[in-house]
Amino acid sequence: MKKLSINLGLNSYAIIIEDDLLFHLSFYIEQIYHNDKIFIITDDVVAKYYLDTVIEGLKFRYDVETIVFPNGEASKNIDNYVYLVKELLNKNIRRNHLLLALGGGVVGDITGFVAATLYRGLPYVNVPTTLLSQMDSSIGGKTGIDFAGRKNIIGAFKQPKLVLIDPRVLNTLSQREFNNGMGELIKHAAIGNKELFNKLKSKPLIDENIIFESLTVKKQVVEKDEFDVNERMLLNFGHTFGHVIELKYNYKHGEAVAMGMLMAIKLGIDLGVTKKTCYEDILAIIKAYDLPCEAFDYKAYLASAINDKKNLAGKLNFILLEEIGKAIIYPIEESKLKELL
Ligand code: GLY
């Protein structure tokens, strides 16, 4: 078992990483929740694999209700949000009851958003079941839904009370879905842990220790900047170009981030910021995990990437690597970017 504490004052919480944790979630939930009712929100695919196991481990202690919706990004919308709220109210949820998100990023994000808004806030626990959500969306309190064709455009910061990660669930992921999560894990290593990065070269088993090390990078960043106005931007390494690729082509998030990292490294090299060897280093790992590494020229995507960026005070902030394990926020003048084209 590995435990990581996210220290955010009153919003602090623990992440527990433990093999076979799904069988006894109540052991950890009891430590933070003393009421009698839990509402599990999950999707139909995850329900098939894990819902019975989870209920079995909770029901001797809690009265458990379940709401299931169809798997997939299309469920992360306002209609499903309304459906969940209505279902919860029909089931007589009270403001001191606990929501439990069992699933990948879609389940976690929409459940977190319900938790942020229903009764102006309910406690919730995240139980992420994909590597991608274990690495990213289940940690850090970003919740939300897609709207008007834009991802995560309505949302709130709402930290969970607890995050429970069972590495064994990774065994039921397809190879592609597993590699998708590796995109974010490689990103954490690239921006903040050179030793972990070097370990990944030999494709180690993704176990409690590797997950712990990867999430430690995210923890350090989120603790400095809970509301994503400064350092937290470092987590967007590979995302500026990645978002453009993800929207334009049929790539999964972690796949697009892998290509986005390669493009950001090229940009960094051209600006004289990034050590040249970084490109080959990351390319080798991306290839090892069968992530796409098509030679997209960042210059062809710069204009769209500039539009996609959340700019602060007119500055264009790119996340660049100086070297493996060291990312920086690098403000660039628009005129300088144009010179590169
Ligand atoms: N996914 C980036 C963040 O949590 O800030």
Backbone phi, psi, residue 319, to 5°? -100, 120
Cα separation of 169 and 128, whole Å? 9
Per-residue model confidence (pLDDT) at position 308: 60
Q: Is there a single domain that holds both residue 126 and residue 95?
A: yes
Quote the ligand 1 centre to 95 CA distance (angstroms): 27
How far apart are the CA of 185 and the centre of ligand 1, in A? Answer: 13
Show the beta-strand stretches assigned E in the chain.
Answer: 2-6, 13-17, 37-43, 63-69, 98-103, 124-128, 142-147, 150-157, 162-165, 316-323, 326-332
pTM: 0.94
Please spell the DSSP secondary structure of 9-25, one letter per residue: GGG-EEEEE-TTGGGGH
Domain CATH for 26: 3.40.50.1970
Instruction: Answer yes or no: do 252 and 307 share one domain.
Output: yes
List Cβ<8 Å contacts ≥24 apart for 232-235.
Answer: 232/140, 233/317, 233/319, 233/329, 234/191, 234/192, 234/319, 234/327, 234/328, 234/329, 235/136, 235/187, 235/191
In Å, how far are 88, 123, 162, 168, 288 from 111, measured between CA atoms?
A: 11, 11, 14, 23, 34
- Distance (Å, rounded) from C-alpha 187 to C-alpha 264? 12
Which of residues 108, 143, 172 is at a domain's end?
Answer: 172
Q: Which of 215, 219, 236, 257 to mutate to test the pocket of ligand 1 (most atoms within 8 A of CB)?
A: 236
User: How long, in residues, is the chain?
Assistant: 341
Type of residue numbered 221: V
Q: Of 118, 146, 172, which residue is a domain's last? A: 172
Which band of pLDDT confidence, cut at 50, 70 and 90, is reported for residue 309?
low
Q: What is the mean pLDDT of the chain?
A: 94
Mutate to test the pocket of ligand 1, among 15, 142, 230 (most ligand atoms within 8 A of CB): 142
Same domain membership, residue 103 and residue 147 = yes
What is the position in ligand 1's atom list of the atom closest to the CA of 142? Answer: 4
94 has a pLDDT exceeding 80: yes
> pLDDT tens for residues 113-151?
999 999 999 999 999 999 999 999 999 999 999 999 888
Whose CA is closest to atom 3 on ligand 1?
Answer: 235
Average pLDDT over residues 58-64: 96
Same domain, 29 and 162: yes
pLDDT at 150: 87
Are 156 and 228 part of one and the same domain? no
Helix and strand element counts for the chain (H, E): 14, 11
Give yes or no: residues 208 and 333 share one domain: yes
Question: 81 CA to middle of ligand 1, Å?
Answer: 21
* Two tokens, residue 69: 């919706």
Name residues whose C-beta falls within 8 Å of residue 173's C-beta, 6 or more positions apart in sequence. Answer: 130, 131, 181
For residue 220, what is the domain's CATH number?
1.20.1090.10
Summarize the confidence of residues 47-70 as an average pLDDT. 97
Residue 315 in this model has a pLDDT that exceeds 90: no
Mean pLDDT to the nearest integer, 316-325: 94
Mean pLDDT of 90-102: 97
Domain that holds residue 8: 2-172
Dump pLDDT digits (tens) for 147-161.
Answer: 998 889 999 999 999
Q: Name the more confident of 303 and 41.
A: 41
Average the pLDDT over each of 71-80, 267-276, 289-298, 307-316 and give the range with the smallest value. Answer: 307-316
Indicate whether 250 pLDDT > 90: no
Share of the chain above pLDDT 70, in %: 97
332, amino acid identity:
I
Ligand 1 centroid from CA 188, angstroms: 11
**Spatial separation of the C-alpha atoms in residues 230 and 233, rounded to whole Å:** 6
Tokens linked to 268 = 């960094």
254 C-alpha to ligand 1 centroid (Å):
13
Same domain for 165 and 180, yes or no, is: no
% the chain with pLDDT above 90: 86
- Does residue 317 register a pLDDT over 90? no
